[in-house]
Amino acid sequence: METFGRLGLPGLLAVTLIATSCGGGQALTPPSSSPDQITMTLAAPSVIVPQDGTAASVGATVAHAGGTAPVTLSVSALPSGVSVTINSPGPTSSGNLTFAAHDATPPGTFAVTVTASDGIVSATAGLSLVVAVVAKIGPAAQGPLSTFMSTSFQPANWDYQFFALNPNAPATLARLRPQHIRLQAVDGGVPQKGAKTWDFTELDAVVNPVLSVGDHSPEFQIAVAPSFMDDANGHLLSSHFQDFANYCANLVKYYNTSTGFTDAAGVTHVHQPFQPITWWGIFNEPNINGLTASDYTALYNLVVPAMQSAGSAVPLKLVALELADFGNEPEKFLPAFVSGVTAEVDAVATHYYSSCNQSDPDTALLSQVSTTFAPHVRYIRSQLQVKPVLAGVPVWITENNVNADFEGANGMSTCNPGQRFVVDPRGTSPFFAGWRPYVFSQLAQAGAGALYHWDFDADTQYGEVDYNTGKPYLSYWVDLALESFFPSPPGAQILQLATTDANDVETLAARNPDGSVVVMIADHAVQAPADNNGPGAARTVIVDVSELGSFSAGSQLTVDSNTDLVNGPTSTSLAPVPRITITLNGYGVTFLVLKP
């Protein structure tokens, strides 16, 4: 288990206030004819009130000097949906306030006022009332958690020097334990430079280090065709489909055979060291790169057999589609592909970004997770079921991040012509710590087989580490935690969940084969509707594991705005009680591990 900050609850400190005629904690100076004075002490400055109706109490101790009338308590500024039962001190010194809430009560922290009065003088005290989300974990398995985490590289003229600049980068990458790291060669990373010439320099500057880490089995995504096969818009011409198939076959010969291939100029190319690549993706985002569904299906059916005939030392695994997934793109592509594909398919891939506009508020980015990402995975899986040979093919999300926009000519936005491009920091800010775990949970429950970060070495919009320094961003620690606590495959089963708030807090629980249970709580509550990279709203969550039996030990790890970016968060011990209370003070994620 990785060791990564700690989230602690505030200590319960007594609050003492004395009589006042107008509140504010000031001592009352009674009329000279009256010695009457009230002093009130609350047993705690705050009380946590669960949304499931469980009562929560706080005591009030009253000292009544000089008066004979009984003292009564009252509470003002209660949030909607919270009730209070008051046991006033009367002639004694002790009273009690018992609060209750339900799942329609808004979660959050509210300031209420407690007043003690004998009808003549009074004392007031402020009380912080925390309405807590309740997440009850049940023992029944809801299905396997089979989503693995990975990351991506884009060998290109702007990217290929990363490993040379950062000698420690392979170790940083390896710590993620990524599976089938995605390699998307474009621009200078495309090795065929013309009809006759080839140069693998920029490509192998990234491929070779990647081959040395993780599972040593990257997915080489043949993203684009060599430029001479394209039209003026950079789209592959149908007249060059066979040339593209030959190009793909030569890539297989180069990496997966000991003899390589000889190009049209008579130069032989052999990759060293010999380490075959098993997984291959065929073309990138055909739906926005000039190919119709029928075009892509014809291309795929031509390319795959050519690659399989190249004499590979290992059987090839093929990844299809790699859609730019928005709107109704899956509906436009999946039926035609499923009905027309005849070549082998080992995974179907798609890409999810929450926005293509830096001005979109946090609410817009978060809404995409439940309205587009998860439903589209379910749709793709349902379409694959139509054809028996594709029924067991997994759906991989091979690109995922908050914003798909990038800088175009003259510093302008690619997605929004006429608008200057601005880096979206939500890809590496605390927002990401609430957003990415939410994405992972929703996609895992929808049955996705993989979730890839786009991309490993980049700026504060896209990266897990900085391209120039190799230093981790917060996004790196988020993804490391997800891979560490939900590694695939360990055979984990998703457990049933009943929660009082699924809108702002994402909870995912899984039981491992050794009987241990991992519970993830992600706070993606937005503080204000117009927030763009806001801080998020604090949430307290009570995790009820009472139905899971007893545990002997527990630990907790949190990734949020307080995380040390150099060393990462640190795991701390936790008492494995039946109801565990955790608080996140804004966007962030906590992982609880309970061991039998």
Tell me the HSE value of 569 on the side-chain side, using a 13 A CA sphere: 30
Quick one: CA dihedral 546, 549, 554, 559, positive or negative? negative
Q: Is residue 176 part of a domain?
A: yes
As a whole number of angstroms, the distance between CA 222 and CA 226 comes to 10
293 and 412: one domain? yes
Question: For residue 275, is it within any domain?
Answer: yes
Do 275 and 335 reside in the same domain of the chain? Answer: yes
∠241-243-245 over CA atoms, to 5°? 70
Radius of gyration of the chain (CA): 30
SS3 sequence of 156-185? CCCCCCHHHHCCCHHHHHHHCCCCCCEEEC
pLDDT of residue 514: 94
Q: What is the pLDDT of residues 100-119, one digit of tens each?
A: 998 889 999 999 999 999 99
Could you tell me if 66 and 184 lie in one domain? Answer: no
- For residues 328 and 454, state if they share a domain: yes
pLDDT of amino acid 491:
85
Is position 139 within any domain?
A: no
DSSP three-state, residue 553: strand
- Mean local confidence (pLDDT), 210-215: 94
- The answer to whether the beta carbons of residues 493 and 137 sit under 8 Å apart is no
- The answer to the question of residue 278 being in a domain is yes
* pLDDT in the model for residue 34: 57
| Token couple for 355 | 């926005």
The angle formed by the CA atoms of residues 266, 269 and 270, to the nearest 5 degrees, is: 145
For 455-501, write each residue's pLDDT tens digit: 999 999 999 999 999 999 999 999 999 999 999 877 899 999 999 99
pLDDT recorded at residue 105: 92
Per the listing, tokens 């608008």 go with 419
Residue with tokens 């003229």: 157
Stretch (H or E) spanning 115: strand 108-117
pLDDT confidence of residue 294? 98
Question: What is the rounded CA–CA span in Å between residue 551 and residue 364?
Answer: 40
Which band of pLDDT confidence, cut at 50, 70 and 90, is reported for residue 394? very high
Residue 141 lies in a domain: no
Strands (E), 274-327: 279-282, 317-324
Domain span at residue 555 reads 495-595
Do residue 458 and residue 501 come from a single domain?
no
Residue 265 within a domain: yes
Residue 5 included in any domain: no
Q: Indicate the average pLDDT of the chain.
A: 93
Domain count of the fold of the chain: 3
Both 329 and 467 in one domain: the answer is yes
The secondary structure of 61-113 as a DSSP string is EEEEES--SPBEEEEESPPTT-EEEEE--BTSSEEEEEEE--TTSPPEEEEEE
Q: Please indicate, yes or no, whether residues 337 and 396 belong to a single structural domain of this protein.
A: yes
pLDDT over 90 percentage in the chain: 92
Paired with 109 in beta bridges are 130
CB–CB of 510/495 below 8 Å?
yes
Do 517 and 440 belong together in one domain?
no
Report yes or no: 495 and 139 within 8 Å, Cβ to Cβ.
yes
pLDDT tens-place string over residues 180-203: 999 999 999 999 999 999 999 999
CATH code for the domain of 564:
2.60.40.1180
Classify each residue of 96-131 as buried b or exposed e, where b means 16 or more C-beta atoms within 10 Å of its C-beta.
Answer: ebebbbebebebbbbebebbbbbebbbbbbbbebbb
Contacts of residue 393, defined as CB under 8 A and 6 or more positions apart, other chains included, come to: 345, 346, 347, 348, 384
Provide mean pLDDT across the span 539-568: 97
Contact (Cβ atoms closer than 8 angstroms) between residue 150 and residue 399: no
Least confident of 29-43, 340-354, 367-381: 29-43
At 457, list the tokens. Answer: 């070495």
Which residue, 421, 456, 490, sits at the end of a domain? 490
Do 79 and 110 touch, CB atoms closer than 8 A?
yes
Within a domain: residue 165? yes
Cα separation of 364 and 362, whole Å?
A: 5
For 398-453, how does the pLDDT look when each residue is reduced to its tens digit (9 = 90+)?
999 999 999 999 999 999 998 999 999 999 999 999 999 999 999 999 999 999 99
Whether the per-residue pLDDT at 1 is higher than 70: the answer is no
Distance CA 42, CA 97 (A): 10
Beta bridge partners of 466: 458
pLDDT of residue 9: 32
CATH number at residue 106: 2.60.40.10
What is the torsion angle, in degrees rounded to the nearest 10, for the CA atoms of residue 456, residue 318, residue 148 and residue 430? 30
Which residues have a Cβ under 8 Å from the Cβ of 460 and sit 6 or more positions away?
423, 425, 427, 428, 429, 473
Nearest to 542 by CA among 134, 109, 107, 105: 134
Beta-carbon count within 10 A of 34 CB: 11
Same domain, 417 and 316: yes
Question: Which of 490, 513, 536 corresponds to the end of one domain?
Answer: 490
Supply φ then ψ for residue 439, to 5 degrees: -60, -50
Q: 11-65: per-residue pLDDT in tens?
A: 333 333 333 333 333 333 344 355 789 999 999 999 999 999 999 999 999 999 9
Which amino acid would we find at residue 566?
V
The whole-number average pLDDT for the span 146-165 is: 97
| Domain termination residue (choose one: 490, 520, 537) | 490
For residues 332 and 387, state if they share a domain. yes
435 and 384, same structural domain?
A: yes
